[in-house]
C-alpha cells in the first residue's frame, strides 16, 4: 500500500520528464498523434543530429560551450569570493561588522526587480552589452546566500584551531588559507552545486544582455529554438531540451548526498 | 549569530577584516546600493535610456495606481498565483515529507526521484515541455480523452480560464525544496513525544495536528516567507509558456515590469513598478512576521 502510493506519486511526478525523453525519440507525426505514450513506436535518433545543428548556422555545440564557459567561471568566482568574505565576517572582529552583516542579510530579502533596471543602465553605459561581463563579473564579489551558508559552517569549526595556528605565527591570511579553507570543502561543494544550477538555468540576464546569437547560452538558444512561431522540427527541439537537462541531472546524481543535506540544513529556493 | 564585540578591536584586525570582506563590500556598493538608490530616483523620472532622464515627480506612481488597468490586472494575477501556489506547494511538500519519514525500504530512492522536478524545474527546457504538455495536441488531452473524461482537445494554456492554472501546477510540481526542509524539521521532533501521545491514546490524526504541526511551525514560517517572495518574482515560466497571455490572464507582475522596462523602454515607469513591488513584499513579510508570534512556537518560548 505504502509503496503503491509513493510509487504512483513518483511516477506522476516523473511523467513529464519521461514524456520529454520519449518525445525526443519520436517523429513529428507521432509527437502529436501519440502524445501521451512514453515509448515511441518508431525510434527516431535523427532528432539529436538535426537538433545539434541548431539555427542560423550556429550549432548547439557552440551554445553548450558558451554555457559551460559562463557557468564554470562564475561558479569558481562565486565560491572563492564567498568563502573569503565569510571568513572575514565570522573570524575577524572589526568595527562595523554587525552593520555590514545586517546589510548583507537584508539584500537576501530584496526583490531582484528593484535592481535590474539600474544595473542594466549601468552595464549598458559601461559598454558591456553583448558581452559576458554582466553575467560573470558580479560573481567575483561574493553571493550573500553562499556567504551566509559558509559562515554557518565556519561556526562549526573549533576556534582553538585558529588560536594554535596563531601561536605558530600565522596571520589571518595564513589561518584562512591553510587551516579554514581546506576544512570548508563540504560547504564549498554545496555552494558550487547550487551556483552551477542557478547559472545553468539563468535566463533573464542573458536575455537582457546578449544580442548576438553566437554568444547565447543554451537556455536562451533553446527559447529561440522553441519559438512557437518558427518551430517546425519538434523532435529536434525536444532532443535539445533533453540534452540541456543532462549536465544538471548528472551533477545531481553524483552529488545528491551533499545536495540533499545542504538544502535541508539551509533551505534554499 | 555574530557575537558581541568585547573590548577594543585591534587595529590589525580592523584592516584584515575589511580586506576579507572587501569583495562583498565593493560589490554591494556597486551592484546593490548604488542601483537601489538610482532605482528610486529613476522611479521619479521619465527615462528611455536614449535621451536623458526627465524629472516628473510622482507622476509614474499616479499613473500606475490610477490609470493603468494592466497594473491592476498583473497585481491580481500575481496575488492569485501566490495565494494558490504557495499554500498548495507547502501542503503538498508537507504531505510527501510525512510519507518519507517512515522507515521503509527504498525511501532514499523516492526522496531522490521526488526531488528531481525541483532540480530542473526552473529551466527553459521544462517550460517548453510544459507548454507542449498542456497544449491542444499535448499529452494531457490525450490522456483525458483516452480515459473518456474529455471529448474534444482543449488548449489549457490558450484559455484565459485555465492558463494560470497550468503555471500554478508547474509551481506546485517543484515542491522538492520545501519538502526537504520539512523532512529536516520532522527529524528534529523527539520520538518520545509521539510515544507518549500514543500511550495516551492519540491516533495518528491527532498526533499530526498536536505534535507535528506545532513543532514544525518555525519551518513552515521559514518556507512560507521564502516561497512567497519567490512567488512574487516568478518570471521565466510565464514568459516562455504563455508570455502573459491569453488576454493578460497570466501577466505576472515580474513579467509586466519586464515588458515596461525592456520592451517599451519605460525605465522610469518600470522602476516605479519595482518600488511598488518592494513595498508590497515588505508589507506582506512584516505582516507574516507580526502574525508569527501567534502561531510560530519556538522551544525556548514554551516554558
Q: What is the pLDDT of residue A98?
A: 94
Read off the pLDDT of each residue in B136-161 and give the average, rounded to a whole number.
86
- Which residue stretches of chain A have pLDDT < 50? 269
Q: What is the pLDDT of residue A175?
A: 94
Q: Which residues contact B258 (CB under 8 A, 6 or more apart)?
A: A204, B235, B239, B270
Contact criterion met (CB below 8 Å) for A36 and B132: no
Indicate yes or no: CB of B184 within 8 angstroms of CB of A264. Answer: yes
Q: What is the pLDDT of residue B298?
A: 77
First CA to last CA distance, chain B: 23
Cβ neighbours of B153 in A, within 8 Å = none
Q: What is the pLDDT of residue A265?
A: 58
Q: What is the pLDDT of residue B256?
A: 97
Minimum Cα–Cα distance from A77: chain B residue: B23
Q: Is the pLDDT of residue B303 over 70?
A: no
Angle at B140 between CA B137 and CA B144, to 5 degrees: 105
Over residues B195-251, the pLDDT tens digits come to 888 888 888 888 888 888 988 998 999 889 889 999 999 999 999 999 998 999 999
Read off the pLDDT of each residue in B279-295 and give the average, rounded to a whole number.
91
Per-residue pLDDT band for B302 (boundaries 50, 70, 90) equals: very low
Any alpha helices (H) in B59-123, and if so which ranges?
Answer: 59-67, 69-100, 107-120
In the block, cell 550549432 appears at A59
Read off the pLDDT of each residue in B106-130 and give the average, rounded to a whole number.
88
Over residues A50-84, the pLDDT tens digits come to 999 988 899 999 999 999 999 999 999 999 999 99
Q: What is the pLDDT of residue B180?
A: 87
Over residues B33-81, the pLDDT tens digits come to 999 999 999 999 999 988 899 999 999 999 999 999 999 999 999 999 9
Find the helix packing angle between A113-125 and B34-42, rounded to 10°.
100
Indicate yes or no: CB of B119 within 8 angstroms of CB of A138. Answer: no
In this structure, what C-alpha cell is assigned to residue B129? Answer: 515541455
Among A97, A113, A122, whose Cβ lies nearest the Cβ of B2? Answer: A97
In this structure, what C-alpha cell is assigned to residue B74? Answer: 498583473
The pLDDT mean for chain B works out to 89
Instruction: Supply the DSSP string of A3-37, one letter for each residue.
Output: HHHHHHHHHHHHHHHHHHHHHTTS-HHHHHHTTT-
Cβ neighbours of A244 in B, within 8 Å = 123-125
Between chain A and chain B, how many beta carbons pairs sit less than 8 Å apart?
A: 266
Q: Is the pLDDT of residue B149 over 90?
A: no
Q: Is the pLDDT of residue B283 over 60?
A: yes
The Cα of A168 is separated from the nearest Cα of chain B by a number of Å equal to 18
DSSP character at residue A157: S
Over residues B2-33, the pLDDT tens digits come to 555 455 678 888 999 999 999 999 999 999 99
Exposure string for A151-189, b = 16+ CB within 10 A, e = fewer = bebbeeeeeeebeebeeeebebeebbeebbeeebeebbb
Q: What is the pLDDT of residue B301?
A: 46
- Residue A263 CA, chain-centre distance (Å), reads 14
Which of B47, B60, B101, B123 is the mutation pick for testing A, counting most A CBs within 10 A?
A: B123
Q: What is the pLDDT of residue A75?
A: 97
Which of A1, A3, A4, A6 is the mutation pick for testing B, counting most B CBs within 10 A?
A: A6
Say how far apart CA B25 and CA B182 lie, in whole Å.
34
Contact criterion met (CB below 8 Å) for B255 and B239: yes
Q: What is the pLDDT of residue A266?
A: 56
Q: List C-alpha distances in Å: B151 to B120, B142, B162.
A: 33, 10, 17
Which of B124, B186, B224 is the mutation pick for testing A, counting most A CBs within 10 A?
A: B124
Cβ neighbours of A224 in B, within 8 Å = none
In the block, cell 568563502 appears at A83
Q: List C-alpha distances in Å: B149 to A21, B139, B140, B141, B153.
A: 26, 14, 11, 9, 11
Q: What is the pLDDT of residue B7?
A: 56
CB atoms closer than 10 angstroms to residue A14 = 15
Cβ neighbours of B111 in A, within 8 Å = 260
Read off the pLDDT of each residue in B263-273 and give the average, rounded to a whole number.
96
Amino acid at each position: 500500500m505504502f509503496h503503491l502510493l509513493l510509487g504512483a506519486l513518483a511516477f506522476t511526478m516523473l511523467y513529464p520528464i519521461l514524456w520529454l525523453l520519449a518525445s525526443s525519440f519520436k517523429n513529428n507525426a507521432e509527437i502529436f498523434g501519440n502524445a501521451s505514450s512514453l515509448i515511441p513506436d518508431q525510434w527516431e535518433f535523427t532528432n539529436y543530429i538535426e537538433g545539434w545543428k541548431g539555427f542560423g548556422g550556429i550549432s548547439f555545440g557552440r551554445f553548450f560551450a558558451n554555457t559551460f564557459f559562463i557557468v564554470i567561471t562564475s561558479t569558481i568566482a562565486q565560491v572563492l569570493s564567498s568563502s573569503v568574505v565569510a571568513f572575514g565576517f565570522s573570524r575577524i572582529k572589526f568595527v562595523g561588522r554587525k552593520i555590514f552583516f545586517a546589510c548583507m542579510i537584508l539584500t537576501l530579502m530584496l526583490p531582484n526587480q528593484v535592481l535590474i533596471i539600474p544595473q542594466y543602465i549601468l552595464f549598458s553605459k559601461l559598454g558591456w552589452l553583448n558581452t559576458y561581463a554582466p553575467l560573470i563579473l558580479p560573481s567575483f564579489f561574493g553571493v550573500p546566500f553562499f556567504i551566509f551558508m559558509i559562515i554557518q559552517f565556519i561556526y562549526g569549526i573549533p576556534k582553538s584551531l585558529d588560536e594554535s595556528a596563531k601561536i605558530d605565527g600565522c596571520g589571518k591570511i595564513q589561518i584562512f588559507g591553510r587551516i579554514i579553507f581546506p576544512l570548508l570543502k563540504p560547504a564549498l561543494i554545496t555552494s558550487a552545486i547550487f551556483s552551477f544550477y542557478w547559472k545553468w538555468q539563468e535566463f533573464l540576464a542573458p536575455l537582457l544582455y546578449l544580442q548576438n546569437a553566437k554568444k547565447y547560452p543554451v537556455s536562451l538558444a533553446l527559447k529561440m529554438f522553441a519559438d512557437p512561431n518558427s518551430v517546425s522540427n519538434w523532435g529536434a527541439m525536444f532532443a535539445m531540451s533533453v540534452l540541456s537537462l543532462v549536465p544538471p541531472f548528472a551533477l545531481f546524481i553524483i552529488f545528491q548526498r551533499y545536495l540533499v543535506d545542504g538544502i535541508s540544513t539551509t533551505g534554499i529556493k | 549569530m555574530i557575537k558581541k564585540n568585547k573590548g577594543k578591536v585591534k587595529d590589525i584586525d580592523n584592516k584584515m577584516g575589511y580586506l576579507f570582506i572587501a569583495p562583498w563590500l565593493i560589490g554591494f556598493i556597486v551592484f546593490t546600493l548604488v542601483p537601489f538608490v538610482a532605482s528610486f530616483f529613476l522611479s521619479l523620472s521619465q527615462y528611455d535610456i536614449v535621451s536623458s532622464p526627465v524629472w516628473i515627480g510622482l507622476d509614474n506612481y499616479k499613473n500606475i495606481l490610477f490609470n493603468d488597468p494592466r497594473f491592476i490586472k498583473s497585481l491580481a494575477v500575481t496575488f492569485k498565483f501566490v495565494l494558490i501556489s504557495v499554500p498548495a506547494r507547502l501542503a503538498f511538500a508537507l504531505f510527501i515529507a510525512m510519507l518519507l519519514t517512515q522507515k521503509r525500504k527504498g525511501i532514499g530512492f523516492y526522496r531522490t526521484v521526488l526531488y528531481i522536478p525541483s532540480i530542473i524545474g526552473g529551466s527553459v527546457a521544462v517550460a517548453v515541455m510544459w507548454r507542449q504538455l498542456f497544449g491542444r495536441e499535448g499529452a494531457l488531452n490525450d490522456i483525458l480523452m483516452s480515459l473518456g473524461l474529455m471529448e474534444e482537445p482543449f488548449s489549457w494554456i490558450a484559455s484565459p480560464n485555465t492558463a494560470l492554472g497550468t503555471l500554478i501546477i508547474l509551481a506546485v510540481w517543484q515542491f522538492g525544496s520545501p519538502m526537504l526542509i520539512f523532512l529536516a524539521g520532522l527529524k528534529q521532533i523527539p520520538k518520545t513525544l509521539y510515544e507518549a501521545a500514543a500511550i495516551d491514546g492519540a491516533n495518528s490524526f491527532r498526533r499530526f495536528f498536536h505534535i507535528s504541526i506545532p513543532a514544525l511551525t518555525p519551518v513552515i514560517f521559514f518556507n512560507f516567507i521564502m516561497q512567497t517572495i519567490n512567488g512574487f518574482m516568478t518570471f521565466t515560466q510565464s514568459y516562455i509558456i504563455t508570455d502573459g497571455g491569453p488576454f493578460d490572464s497570466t501577466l505576472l507582475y515580474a513579467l509586466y515590469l519586464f515588458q515596461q522596462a525592456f520592451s517599451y523602454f519605460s525605465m522610469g515607469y518600470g522602476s516605479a513598478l519595482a518600488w511598488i513591488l518592494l513595498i508590497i513584499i515588505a508589507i506582506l513579510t512584516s505582516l507574516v512576521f507580526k502574525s508569527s508570534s501567534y502561531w510560530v512556537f519556538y522551544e525556548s518560548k514554551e516554558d
